[in-house]
Amino acid sequence: MLIVAGLGNPGPQYAGNRHNIGFMAVDAIARRHGFSPWARKFKGEIAEGQIGGEKVLLLKPLTFMNVSGESVGEAVRFFKLEPKDVVVVHDELDLPPGKVRIKTGGGHGGHNGLKSIDAHLGRDYRRLRLGIGHPGTKEAVNPHVLGDFAKVDRPWLDDLLEAVAGQFELVVKGEDAQFLNRVTLATTGSEEPSSAKGSAGGAAMRAVAPGGAAPKGQSHIRQARSGGPQVKIPEKGPMADMLKKLFGKE
């Protein structure tokens, strides 16, 4: 059994906040996979269902963000599970909007919801981090996370939530790198760079351009193979002289 806890704050006044992207994600998963109606339990709302043949409990803590651990910890203890059986979905200031990372363990990075869960479970649970971007200054953080997503954000946000829900079976199976690659393909049309796949904490996906369709990205190698734009190397002039010196060509 897997518990998937999406973090946010309860109440209609917070429903569209950037801080509530965790709630939005588990709502999307529940819709996509035909989960039960939401019910009150474990100081939160729960929905039950199966993904890929595995039993999954979706949880939205109603304790407010800063004490999310009370709800998540109660559910974990009730089912006698371990931290490895928990995935927490949350907003991430340190990732640009549209980027996704997933990892096991690590610090809370100042996120009060994670800090509370750490106190109840320890750190050895998986975190699905959904980028919302940083406003630039510490003073602007609270208005940013407690502010609603703008209309211009809706195209990339909707695509992201749909992709996360659609590919979530891979998370249930523990195939995190494959999940991130599929989400990237679904939202940007290009595969996850191999360097990102091998990086600590999981792969990152490129942000979808706000207000427009997902870009159909291609590597320079793929463009060259497909007859795309070629870079012409100069044969004369200052640039040519510099290249000759750099590569030792006379």
- Give the three-state DSSP class for 96: coil
Q: 19, 33, 90, 144: which is the annotated catalytic residue? A: 19
Is residue 84 within 8 Å of 204, Cβ to Cβ?
Answer: no
- Give the three-state DSSP class for 46: strand
Residue corresponding to tokens 């100081």? 43
Distance of CA 228 to the CA centre of its chain: 31
* 108 annotated active-site: no
Beta-strand runs (E) in the chain: 2-6, 39-41, 44-51, 54-61, 86-92, 100-104, 126-131
- Give 39: exposed, middle or buried? Use CB within 10 Å, 0-12, 13-18, 19+: exposed
**CA 53 vs CA 1, 41, 170, 173, 207: distances in Å:** 10, 23, 12, 10, 31
Integer Cα distance of 158 and 87 in angstroms: 21
Looking at residue 176, the DSSP 8-state letter turns out to be H
Integer Cα distance of 18 and 74 in angstroms: 26
The catalytic residue positions are 19
